[in-house]
Amino acid sequence: MNMKITRLKQLLAATGFIFATGLVQTPALAQQKNDPKFNKMIQESFRADGIAALNRIDQDATQKFCSDPKFADSKQGQAMREKIQKMNMDSIKQPSDGKYIGDWKNGERIAQSGRGATWTDTAETPIGGGCYNCHQIDYKEISYGNIGPSLTGYGKIRGYSPEVVTYTWNRINNSKAYNACSNMPRFAHFKLLNEKQMQDVMALLLDPESPVNK
Amino acid sequence: MADPMRVRAAENGGIVDVKILMKHDMESGQRKDAAGKTIPAWFISTINVKANGKDVFNGQFGPAVSKDPFLNFKYKGAKGDKIAVTWNDNKGDKRTDEATVS
Amino acid sequence: MQRKLTLGLASGLVAALLTMTSSVSAQKSATDDIAKYREMIADGNPSELYEAAGEELWKKPAGPKNVTLEQCNLGLGPGVVKGAAAQLPRYFKDTNKVQDLESRLMTCMQVLQGRDPEEMIDAPFQKGPKKDMEAIVAYVVTLSKGDKIKVSTAHPKEKEMYDLGKRAFFFQGGPMDFSCASCHAENGKRIRLQDLPNITEQKGAALGWGYWPAYRVSSGQFWTMQQRLNDCFRQQRFPFPIYGSDVTIALSMYMAKTANGGTVETPGLKR
């Protein structure tokens, strides 16, 4: 008889607890607030050096959004994600000479080089694409990173249609047109690679003669 | 005088294990600096280790040995042996450090 | 004819598989071999040369006041070096701020020896007064080797630094939109063949925070944590982080707290 009453009490307590927690509402996830103390810390902790100007820590809308991955990846952040993607897409320019495919041999060189744009570089230092830092490209190169997907066999797998060509051009120009918080730098947007360099990287991926597609 | 070496020697079963860390840039003379000028060769040329005054190791280093060289060798000896390590480099600098076998 | 075709197909498949596996095993073996190499030379870690020099500098009178650093308080009392680095960064009452090892050493050099911190801040890494700092850091961290990483956020300023550091970790900037998180917020990632610890989790944070300062074989130099952070920001195409600035201490606080419970393996040995 006593056992039954204790059991009943436990059951009642458990139900009550579940009911109570159900009533507590989870706050809607919002973007992290502007923090003056944080901003001050950032402003005062850096100085310009060489070509690395202080304005590099002034964030644009994309950087601001992606500095809050919790919100950026959330359901609530979706509307803003799409806005950021559209904004980046709208800024992309197709090649001025209409040519998409350049020289894959030079493309490989650009993919191999991670140089440029740091405070130990000069304005004359040719900026590399640093592609092998994150991607596998030519299968003969074993020193490749895995932050981005493998691009081995890129053209062979996807084909060489105008859609693939345009998509690839856009991706190289500004990867955030497709994925708001892609880890890939926006090569055209920040003038890291010029048109000719991007045409050469395109060739590395989409020239049927490129070792990537052999 | 050049920076000190780190010399450790421990005896076990009649064999002394000697470990030496040397501080030296070991420039091969093949490298160029950021301006394109060749960095002059500067490396340890010879190394000599004595235990209680008797040679137990002699070596000829050179441009093929890399920076801050680490040398490890064994010889037949005993606890309390007085080890003296001397290196000479191609600029005429030298360094001697001592240790006792533990 | 059919047999030849099947044979050709089969050998082609085997060849393809072999090339694939050899490329994958080249990956694995490259990182494994680097680990083996580290084991081999762990015995002759050139950090010991810096540590020996650092111990001498700790006991040598210096600066306008001609005093040693032997009364320096690194958080465990004046002159207590053993175990101190494992508990940094921490709040210090006398300066009323959270300090990492290097900024705290600058305080000691200033207060005890009369040395000008601006000279230390402005000096390039590996040169001038920073050479002394690097040696002293090597000495201090060696005396925490094997200890557990144990930083506290009990003091409100410590908690604040941790929060600021966490936010800074995800702060994107520069022409490549990089933040620390771009490389250090996911498991199993690497740049080229360099594995990247996931610093947002305890295990990865301990791999990062517990192994620096270290002797870096590729540059033949001993790098302190400040230098490591500095070069990260350089690669992120950021402007230059001022030596000992709040962002460096905040990030250190975030990394150390996240690494709590891990083992101090400094001074480390890196490629």
Sketch the domain layout of chain A as residue ranges. 104-213
Closest listed residue to residue C134, CA positions, set C208, C72, C53: C53
- The residue-averaged pLDDT of C170-196 equals 96
Q: Tell me, what's the ipTM?
A: 0.87
Domains of chain C: 43-270 (1.10.760.10)
Q: Cβ C191–A59 below 8 Å, yes or no?
A: no
Evaluate whether residue B31 is within a structural domain: yes
Inspect the interface and report whether the beta carbons of C52 and B72 lie closer than 8 Å.
no
> Domain range for residue B96?
6-100
Write out pLDDT tens, residues C210-235.
999 999 988 899 999 999 999 999 99
Residues in Cβ contact with B92 at an 8 Å cutoff, skipping those fewer than 6 apart: none
- Subunits in contact with chain C (3 or more CB pairs closer than 8 Å): A, B
Residue B81 inside a domain? The answer is yes
B70 vs C44, C52, C53: nearest CB: C44
- A68 with A59: CB under 8 angstroms? no
pLDDT recorded at residue C18: 47
Least confident window among A1-10, A64-73, A188-197: A1-10
Name which CATH class applies to A104-213.
mainly alpha
Residues of C in contact with A191 (CB under 8 A): 175
Pick out chain B residues at pLDDT < 70: 1
Interface test mutation site (partner C, options B19, B20, B21, B42, max chain C beta carbons within 10 A) = B21
Residue A190 CA to residue A88 CA, distance in Å, equals 12
Neighbours of C146 (CB within 10 A): 10
In a domain, B15, yes or no: yes
Domain membership of residue B59 (yes or no) is yes
Cβ A46–C239 below 8 Å, yes or no? yes
Q: Are A171 and A123 in contact (CB under 8 A)?
A: no
C46 to B4: CB separation less than 8 angstroms, yes or no: no
Q: How many domains does chain B have?
A: 1
- Cβ–Cβ below 8 Å for C182 and A183: yes
Domain assignment of residue B1, yes or no: no
CA distance C59 to chain A (A): 32
Average pLDDT value over all residues in chain C: 91
CATH number at residue B74: 2.60.40.10
The reply to whether B98 touches chain C by the CB within 8 Å rule is no
For A195-211, write each residue's pLDDT tens digit. 999 999 999 999 999 99
